Amino acid sequence: MPRRTLLSLFTLLHVSPAFIQIVFAVAIGVAAAFGSSIFTWLIHESEHLFFDIIFDRLLAGRLWTLLFIPALGGLLVGPLVYFFAREAKGHGVPEVMTAVIKRGGRIRPIVAIVKSVASAITIGSGGSAGSEGPIVQIGAAFGSTLGQIFKMPPKRIKTFVGCGAAGGIAAIFNAPIAGVLFSMEVILGEFETFSFIYLVIASTTSAAISQWLRGAHPVFDVMYFSSGSSWELIAFALLGVLAGLTARAFISILTGFENFFDHKLKLPEYLKASFGGILLGILAIFTVRAFGCQPGPGGITILGVGYESISLATEGHLFFFLLLALLALKLLATCLCLGSGGSGGVFAPSLYMGAMLGGAFGFCMLRIPGMIPRYTALMETIAQHPAAPPGLDPRAAILGVYALVGMGAVFAGAAHAPITAIFILFEMTGYHYQILLPIMTCAVVSTLVSKLMSRDSIYTIKLRQKGIITDADRPHDILESMVVRDIMITDVHTINETMTLKELAAVFGSKLHTSLPVVDKNDKLAGIVTYKEMHKAMTSGKSWGLIKVSDCMRRDIVTAFPDETMDSVFGRMRNAYISIAPVVKRRDPGKIVGIITYRHIFDSYQRALMI
């Protein structure tokens, strides 16, 4: 149904704007849930293609051919991203944040399609990346597209972007609370009651449909959890320090790899992901030979998302040196994959590294006298419960505790999002309340350590490199949330520079504007003419029929682009003491597509205050 017809129907039925936004939030939640299921299916099919068919059947599982599997994935992803949607490169969340901060929440619809395919190929071919970044970008793109179709104001579009992100997290991790908190803490950067209502609706809708499609089981099936005594919070605080340092190392190394591949490696942009895939293949072969790990996704491996490896760590099945090795190798593999231009998220790699760090720390705790006897007695008490799993191992309990808490702590330090980390681990492990105190201690300490070392998170550092203001220094200015294309006048009357002053006076007499753009014989922007210039020419004493517009027009003008924010355009207009700015195409600065005037800026500002 066309937009005007639909909105007219809502008006006829006396439907309130709040109800319309609730309907949209539900629609976004539904789309995020089905998008998550389709995306997960794409990953599984991609893994089947690259490893079951190409690696196992065509290449007969020869270890040295593992070199070419990630490279082949990169060879497909590089051109796909380069030619169709460059926003799909990397881990996705910074691009969504950029859209919220600088473009009023506008995301191109094609981004969702390209991101889905590119990330599925990256992860399926062994790329060390997660699925949360892509699904956040996919859900956000749908929410943004919905807002753009119905020409919602920037504030509403940004809320819909947040709804898409919340729905994506809720669906992919079965974590509706964490989806809302992630969207508010990371994507929108603010906690507001207005946004919270719609985020909750989208997130719960998405989680409910996802549970219907794939079941309500938690991501990690934790059969037991006990954190020991309150004194052990000191140990969790120490683990938080180590997690913060690990998170900081992850951010720095990933940024270094991105800068190297973007600015120093002399290769065509669309081939860089393939080159990174070759290096990742070499690293994977080394991991298999050195530690007997799994060649492809599944089991103990550094390739793919790595949930199986995380589960083995949380169950206490990995030994100390293997945990440390996998921590370092996963960090390097993720930086190679995403730094070279692969598409995927950083959340799962953060969980992976946190599980390995926490498991290794747990081994250190085992060396403390009295730890094993205390846990043995504790496990015997738990074992007497009818629902307790048989054969509880106290050593595995200790390792599992620290691996689980380490997962959330590294993510908290990397994302500077302790609230999200606390609740997402709480939900991903099946709502074990005993995990809250340890993870709260560890996540907060990790975030503090990471923030003391640098103000930027793994998401905001790319934005700051581009000169985009984020976090605490982000001004909450209404003009900054407005995009030129949303308020510009597209029905533009232009003046030809060969027109006489007499003809110009007749045109001004029939128009409401006091300033109009001037074009040359090729219909390209040449300047502007205002009442002031016209009046000055009229009083010059020359015949009005002999004076051309080109003789009195103003050539030192201010122009704007459709995708610019209004704060920057308004600043230029104010500094130039000019009340009109022609809007031109970026690729053709002479082509006028609209105009911006002070009056329309003020009117739009006033409407935004009333929303």
pLDDT per residue as tens digits for the range 511-546? 556 678 888 888 888 888 877 777 777 776 676 667
- pLDDT recorded at residue 476: 46
Instruction: Name residue 515's beta-bridge partners.
Output: 530
With tokens 């992860």, the residue in question is 123
- Give 361's pLDDT tier (boundaries 50, 70, 90): very high
Average pLDDT (175-186) is 87
- pLDDT recorded at residue 332: 95
Contact 428, 397 (CB under 8 A): no
Q: What is the mean pLDDT of the chain?
A: 81
- pLDDT recorded at residue 480: 67
Tokens of 79: 């051109």
Q: List all residues 6 or more positions away from 180 whose beta carbon is below 8 Å from its beta carbon.
A: 166, 170, 196, 199, 200, 203
C-alpha to C-alpha distances, 457 to 226, 249, 429, nearest whole angstrom: 31, 11, 25
- pLDDT recorded at residue 477: 56
Least-confidence region, from 74-78, 209-213, 251-255, 534-538 = 534-538
**pLDDT tens figures, 222-238:** 655 555 556 778 888 99
Residue 363 has pLDDT above 80, yes or no: yes
Q: Pick from 311, 325, 273: which is nearest to 129 by CA?
A: 273
Percent of the chain with pLDDT over 90: 21
- Give 103's pLDDT tier (boundaries 50, 70, 90): confident
Percent of the chain with pLDDT over 70: 84
Residue 465 has pLDDT above 50, yes or no: yes
The dihedral built from the CA positions of residue 210, 38, 307 and 215, taken in this order, carries a sign that is: positive
More confident residue, 469 or 546: 546
Residue type, 529: V
Average pLDDT (321-345) is 91
- pLDDT recorded at residue 552: 79
Q: List all residues 6 or more positions away from 567 whose beta carbon is below 8 Å from its beta carbon.
A: 477, 479, 480, 482
Tokens of 352: 């992976």
Residue 378 has pLDDT above 50, yes or no: yes
Residue 391 has pLDDT above 70, yes or no: no
- Give 381's pLDDT tier (boundaries 50, 70, 90): low
- pLDDT recorded at residue 219: 66
More confident residue, 538 or 78: 78
Classify 222 as helix, strand or coil.
Answer: coil
- pLDDT recorded at residue 250: 95
Average pLDDT (176-181) is 88
- pLDDT recorded at residue 23: 87
For the chain, domains (ranges, CATH) are 3-219 (1.10.3080.10), 230-268+289-471 (1.10.3080.10), 479-610 (3.10.580.10)
Q: Pick from 188, 148, 147: which is nearest to 166 by CA?
A: 188
Class of residue 370 by CB neighbours under 10 A (exposed 0-12, middle 13-18, buried 19+): exposed
Its pTM stands at 0.78
- pLDDT recorded at residue 1: 42
Average pLDDT (124-135) is 86
- pLDDT recorded at residue 3: 46
CA distance linking residue 244 with residue 604, whole number of Å: 44
* β-bridge pairing 495-496 and 580-584: unpaired
Residue 290 has pLDDT above 60, yes or no: yes
- pLDDT recorded at residue 445: 96
Contact 379, 325 (CB under 8 A): no
Q: Cα(first)–Cα(last) distance of the chain, in Å? A: 26
More confident residue, 341 or 504: 341
Instruction: Name residue 560's beta-bridge partners.
Output: 583
- pLDDT recorded at residue 511: 59
With tokens 């709502």, the residue in question is 431
Average pLDDT (323-330) is 93
**pLDDT tens figures, 190-209:** 777 778 889 999 999 999 99
Least-confidence region, from 133-142, 326-335, 439-448 = 133-142
Contact 284, 295 (CB under 8 A): yes
More confident residue, 425 or 382: 425
- pLDDT recorded at residue 438: 87
- pLDDT recorded at residue 444: 94
Residue 5 has pLDDT above 60, yes or no: no
- pLDDT recorded at residue 60: 81
- pLDDT recorded at residue 278: 92
C-alpha to C-alpha distances, 224 to 122, 369, 383, 397, nearest whole angstrom: 34, 23, 10, 7
Tokens of 251: 């951010």
Contact 351, 429 (CB under 8 A): no
Highest mean pLDDT among 168-177, 367-376, 594-603: 168-177
- Give 42's pLDDT tier (boundaries 50, 70, 90): very high
Class of residue 359 by CB neighbours under 10 A (exposed 0-12, middle 13-18, buried 19+): buried
Chain centroid to Cα 483, Å, comes to 20
- pLDDT recorded at residue 389: 56
With tokens 């809007």, the residue in question is 583
